[in-house]
Structure 1
């Protein structure tokens, strides 16, 4: 029986899937930090090679590719981060890498938009990154490609442009933690289920955008992602 609520629940976000009429409902969003060595270096930190580490974004922060979003409040240093996104398609808990591979539904291009000044201020005080990372409309996800329709992760190019100028350019094989390793590791801390997205980290070349900028990005073989940065509210 549906419970009565004091006010309407927000609409659950979803992402298109190539070749499907139905969309993929977003349950949770996990994000891997410092998963490209060159990006860690540009951020002035060492890579932790003992295990991946994570932060989260609310599912309600999901935005579809091609949207226009306002420049967010509270920041003067709004950054793009181009990422490969894993979409989970089967339950997995405490699984090994073989089970992790079977649990992946598909992949997508994504943008992790970040209030970098707030993230770095929190990092300096050893505080959580929520204000910097869990930003409204900051998880921009392109249509998902099913894993059966995609090649093994390896030499595919991952890139991002701002107003047509290349800012990030790398290969997926540069990922420190591979997709099956990430899913397996995370499944030892959460019961991962269909609807969970994992943003796998960004290459070097992150930088700030301003109102009026157009961000475009892509990964070989996946649908491209784009975002228009609007004026502050």
Structure 2
């Protein structure tokens, strides 16, 4: 590895570890709040590291040093806010708490969207030939668009606050909704039982024409 690359990489990794500890201390090591804040700041470090690595490969090391100096200046102000939140109360502590709460609300919204999409997909009934479809009454497209617009507007507000205060307030990743459409389960016959067979964990009588 190039010595100049190794120099800024070690410094960057040390800053990341220090920030993780400071985030946990800023909320008095509360497990849920610390996890929310870490998930909020992890994309910032990942994107900045990728940007510095690309810039270092394409330009001179002096350009990377200037970018890294600006990054460290903002990070120092952020660590000062976290230190104040850990040792005293007031507005800075409320700010950190609100960041954690926003992250938790966003995760809850994503989970609600996944649950609603599963309910819209339908449910499998092993006693009937065709699956029973649930009515589409949950989470219309208009509501999804309104929610995305609201979170986008909040993101623009956070960017404006970062530029005004010259600190880092984290990034909320656009999570992909994990969703798999339901399908007809495959029947798996048991080895030691003749009169019954197993369908997705439920034991039901085996039809007469399948008995051996």
Q: Could you state the TM-score of these two structures normalised by the residue count of structure 2?
A: 0.22
Structure 1 or 2, whichever has the larger Rg, is 2
| Structure richer in helix, relative to its length | 2
Q: Which has the higher contact order (CA 8 A, sep 6+)?
A: 1
Q: Could you state the TM-score of these two structures normalised by the residue count of structure 1?
A: 0.21
